[in-house]
Amino acid sequence: DAGITQSPRYKITETGRQVTLMCHQTWSHSYMFWYRQDLGHGLRLIYYSAAADITDKGEVPDGYVVSRSKTENFPLTLESATRSQTSVYFCATPGEGTDTQYFGPGTRLTVL
C-alpha cells in the first residue's frame, strides 16, 4: 500500500545531460501532476496528465518533457539539464475517491 512513489530520491547530474525522474501510483487515478519546489516560490506546476496519453503544460513547462503510456506511471524528463533546474521535484495524484492531492516523497535533483 505505497500510494505514490518516486525514484530516484536523490540525483546529481551535469549540465546538458538527460535525466528522467520516475513517479508511480498504486491507486490508478486518472490524474497525475509534477511540481517543482524552490525557495521563495513554493511549489509550481510543471506538467499534468488527465489520463494515459493525455498531458498538458502547467506554469513552468520549459525544458521538461512528460509521457504517460500507462495510468500508473508518469515520468518527467529533463532533455538537457541546466543549473536552473536544480530543485526538489514532487509528483502528486488525487487519492482513491478524493479531491485531495497526495504527494510523493520527492526527488532532490542537483545539476552541476
Partner 1 sequence: GNSVTQMEGPVTLSEEAFLTINCTYTATGYPSLFWYVQYPGEGLQLLLKATKADDKGSNKGFEATYRKETTSFHLEKGSVQVSDSAVYFCALGSGGGADGLTFGKGTHLIIQP
CB of 41 to partner 1, least distance (A): 6
CA atoms of 88 and 109, how far apart (whole Å): 6
Give me the 48-87 binding string for partner 1, x by CB under 8 A, dash otherwise.
x-x-------xx----------------------------
- Shorter beta-carbon distance to partner 1: residue 13 or 103: 103
Give one DSSP letter per residue of 16-29, joined into a string: T--EEEEEEESS--
CA atoms of 71 and 53, how far apart (whole Å): 9
Yes or no: say if 89 and 106 are a contact pair by the CB < 8 Å rule.
yes
* Residue 94 lies near partner 1 (rule: CB under 8 A): yes
Strand 32-38 to 54-57 pairing: unpaired
Going by C-alpha positions, the residue among 32, 47, 37 that lies closest to residue 85 is 37
Taking CB under 8 A as the criterion, the residue among 82, 84, 98, 112 binding partner 1 is 98
* Residue 31 lies near partner 1 (rule: CB under 8 A): yes
Total binding residues toward partner 1, as defined by CB under 8 A: 26
Grid cell 497525475 is found at 32
Give contact residues for partner 1 (rule: CB under 8 A): 29, 31, 33, 35, 40-45, 48, 50, 58-59, 90, 92, 94, 98-106
